[in-house]
């Protein structure tokens, strides 16, 4: 298997470039330019910082030059985990996000997170482990072999995507640290940096969440083959809005469990508090397994809108599957549990 590493020099390109070349026919592209010109936005926008320009241009479907630059990653395909559903285009994956540290609107992270500094970074693995670990930015991409997996991703708000992630199994990372027998749970924590994350400074902008954003898993869930640590998507390092430089991905659970931009992983003997559960315990459980039969108190979970090339407006409504279609891999984790009680 190829060791993940950066291809130096030529690979540096703004995440932007892939987005448009990939999905936008040239004709649509140039008509957008005309609209922007006719509105006289061109000259005004030119004087604004890149990420603000991106926000303005995005109103027209996505033009502009975000400040954030990604790098191409080397990885091996894991053929065992390739959802056959049509992939959500890169341009949609990075423009429709939930990352309340940067605002609650779906485009807020794309606009507000572009200046986010991801290097240097430190991810600590501590608690009930034999060898506490510190991974710096470079180690995130080199400590473990990088692999690619295409997963379905289902938000509790009933939209979904299909995303090719790059990273490594969470179990591999935990094994490096040596999990002690007394460990029963894993707690995750996002960076707390109100200077960089406006949602952490402003309660309204941050959606009322008590920061830092925290999440957790039972140890057997964390050790399941599907539990993934992502450092990239498509063939690039993560952009800030997707949780750069490192996030968790749990495809059988609602999206809020897939915590972004993490700095701490702690092995514990007790169940840790989790952000959405603390905010509204009757609406968001600790387990949060995708389940079409257990509705959210305010909406049905029986179906979802799958975001494809046409974005949210053109998204097709499809049936939601138990455990998001991953029952074969994870159902055994919950044998004997009432999934209505443990939602």
Ligand X SMILES: Nc1nc2c(c(=O)[nH]1)N[C@H]1C(S)=C(S)[C@@H](COP(=O)(O)O)O[C@H]1N2
Q: List residues forming the annotated binding site for Mo-molybdopterin.
A: 97, 100-101, 155, 190, 247, 258-260
Among 166, 148, 308, smallest CA distance to 230 is for: 166
Under a CB-based contact definition with an 8 Å cutoff, are residues 198 and 112 in contact? Answer: yes
> Smallest gap, in angstroms, from Cβ of residue 311 to ligand X?
13
- Smallest separation, CB 103 to Mo ion (Å): 14
Q: In angstroms, what CA-CA distances link 236 with 17, 55, 241, 317?
A: 12, 21, 13, 29
Counting contacts by CB under 5 A, is residue 173 touching Mo ion?
Answer: no
Least separation in angstroms between CB 88 and ligand X: 9
Query: Shortest Cβ distance from residue 190 to ligand X (Å)?
Result: 4
Nearer to ligand X, 185 or 256 (CB): 256
Q: What is the CA radius of gyration of the chain?
A: 20
- Look at residue 259 and give the partner it binds from ligand X, Mo ion, none, a contact being a CB closer than 5 to 8 Å depending on partner kind: ligand X
Q: Which residues lie below 8 Å from residue 54, measured CB to CB, with a gap of 6+?
A: 16, 64, 65, 66, 110, 111, 114
Binding site partner of 97, from Mo ion, ligand X, none, Cβ cut-off 5-8 A by kind = ligand X
The stretch among 66-74, 152-160, 239-247, 327-335 that binds Mo ion (CB under 5 A) is 152-160
When CB distances to ligand X are compared, the closest residue is 255
Binding-site ranges for ligand X (CB under 6 A):
97-101, 155, 190, 213, 242, 255-256, 258-261
Residue 63 binding target from Mo ion, ligand X, none, CB below 5 to 8 Å by type:
none
Residue 304, preceding peptide bond in cis (omega within 30° of 0): no
As measured in angstroms, the least distance from the Cβ of 134 to ligand X is: 20
Q: Which residue among 51, 57, 110, 256 contacts Mo ion (CB under 5 A)?
A: 256
Q: Whose Cβ is closer to ligand X: residue 125's or residue 128's?
A: 125
Taking contact as CB under 5 A, which single stretch among the options 75-83, 155-163, 206-214, 277-285 is the one that binds Mo ion?
155-163
In the complex with Mo ion, the residue whose CB is nearer, 53 or 112, is 112
* Interaction partner, residue 66 (Mo ion, ligand X, none; CB < 5-8 Å by kind): none
* Binds 88: which of ligand X, Mo ion, none (CB < 5-8 Å by kind): none
Spell out, one character per residue from 80 to 119, where the chain touches Mo ion: x when CB under 5 A holds, - when not: ------------------x---------------------
Q: Which residues bind Mo ion (CB under 5 A)?
A: 98, 155-156, 255-256
């Amino acid at each position: 298997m190829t060791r993940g590493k950066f291809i130096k020099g030529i690979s540096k390109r703004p995440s932007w470039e892939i987005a448009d070349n990939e999905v936008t026919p040239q004709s649509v592209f140039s008509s957008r330019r005309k609209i922007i010109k006719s509105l006289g936005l061109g000259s005004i926008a030119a004087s604004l910082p890149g990420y603000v320009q991106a926000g303005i241009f995005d109103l027209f479907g996505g033009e502009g030059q975000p400040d954030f630059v990604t790098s191409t990653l080397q990885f091996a395909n894991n053929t065992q985990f390739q959802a056959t559903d049509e992939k959500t285009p890169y341009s949609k994956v990075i423009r429709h996000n939930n990352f309340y540290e940067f605002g609650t609107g779906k485009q807020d992270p794309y606009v507000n997170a572009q200046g986010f500094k991801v290097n240097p970074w430190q991810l600590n693995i501590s608690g009930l482990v034999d060898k506490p670990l510190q991974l710096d930015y470079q180690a995130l991409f080199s400590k473990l072999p990088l692999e690619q997996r295409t997963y379905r991703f289902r938000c509790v708000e009933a939209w979904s995507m299909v995303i090719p992630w790059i990273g490594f199994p969470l179990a591999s990372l935990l094994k490096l640290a040596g999990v002690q027998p007394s460990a029963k749970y894993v707690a995750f924590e996002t960076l707390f940096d109100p200077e960089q994350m406006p949602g952490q400074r402003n309660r309204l902008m941050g959606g009322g969440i008590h920061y830092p954003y925290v999440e957790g898993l039972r140890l057997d869930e964390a050790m399941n083959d599907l539990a993934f640590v992502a450092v990239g998507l498509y063939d690039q390092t993560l952009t800030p809005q997707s949780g750069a430089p490192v996030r968790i991905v749990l495809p059988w659970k609602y999206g809020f469990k897939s915590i972004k931009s993490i700095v701490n992983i702690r092995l514990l003997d007790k169940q840790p508090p989790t952000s959405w559960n603390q905010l509204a315990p009757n609406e968001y459980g600790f387990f949060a397994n995708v389940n079409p039969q257990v509705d959210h108190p305010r909406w049905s979970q029986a179906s979802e809108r799958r975001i494809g090339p046409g974005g949210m407006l053109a998204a097709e409504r499809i049936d939601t599957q138990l455990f998001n279609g991953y029952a074969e891999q994870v159902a055994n984790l919950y044998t004997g549990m009432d999934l209505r009680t443990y939602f």
